[in-house]
Amino acid sequence: MDLQQRQWELNRLNFAGRWCGSSHWYLRGDQLNLSQPSRVIDDTCYDIHFSDPDNGIWDGRGLLFAPEGRRQLTLNRDRYNSGGQCWQFMGAGGQSSLRVDTATERFGHEVNLFAGRSRSMLVLLWGQHPTAEGVTWSLDAVGAVGFRCSHASTQEPPRPIQPPEQLLRSMEGWQGTRQCWLDERIEPCTPFSAEQFAIHPLTATFVDGLICSVPEHLPQGAFSLQIGCRTSANAFQQINLVFNDQQSLELCERRCYAPASIAGDG
């Protein structure tokens, strides 16, 4: 199976379901306030189903940026990821801008981290803002959703929101593995370090165990984005998106961490 076909299969395995939850949006006014959402949409639902191994439908409602809050897309194996912006791991998937491009309005990322029939989604959108020195890219919107699949026989209860420092310190020293996008190999990585995750002043937690450390204003050269989720008491998933000096995506990496006693059992 070639890489594109493998990514399609992972997309089907990860996303098939009727995902419902409340979306919490934090929108920039004069400033970006991440302590209180600007808007909550209670009936956000992504119904994603496949009629056969090669075709499907993505039907969304309760969407902030779509006309009348709704959008529907057809899904097809041969056309999947024609732009190269989608990425999939087993139990994690999303889409990312491949570079910072002044010809586009937004620099955006959607990260989904799965645990059984729970799906934790974080959306990060930077926009261009003219200044006397030129154009600055500022984080304009953050969206966080704790989805649960309505087809599941049981629903995981909501996960608590913890302060960033408390969440990160509670996982200090957890053992981990890493996997790079388009590479099936899973390798050991260094133990979890709160300092290595919280590399930006903007480090914040959201619903459903979600956390990120990202630049509020994009620098001129290289930078990285850290997005993670405490999917259970003994599991933390992390996505690292690394952009090089030309501000093109150089690395998309997934890390999974667990306490040493749990990791050792695996």
All structural domains of the chain, each given as residue ranges with its CATH number in brackets, are 3-265 (2.40.128.20)
Do residues 127 and 106 touch, judged by C-beta distance below 8 A?
yes
In angstroms, the CA 55 to CA 74 distance is 8
CA dihedral over 231, 174, 168, 178, signed as positive or negative: negative
Q: pTM score, two decimals?
A: 0.95
Nearest to 236, CA basis, from 168, 144, 186:
168
CA 61 to chain centre: 19
- Distance between the two ends of the chain, CA-based, in angstroms? 27
pLDDT digits (tens, 9 = 90+) for 81-134: 999 999 999 999 999 999 999 999 999 999 999 999 999 999 999 999 988 888
Joined together, the tokens standing for residue 244 give: 């090089």
pLDDT at position 265: 57
* pLDDT reported for residue 130: 85
Q: What is the mean pLDDT of each run of 10 residues along the chain (266 residues)?
A: 90 98 96 96 97 98 96 96 95 98 96 98 96 89 98 93 98 98 93 98 98 98 98 98 98 97 65
Beta bridge partners, 94, equal 87, 111
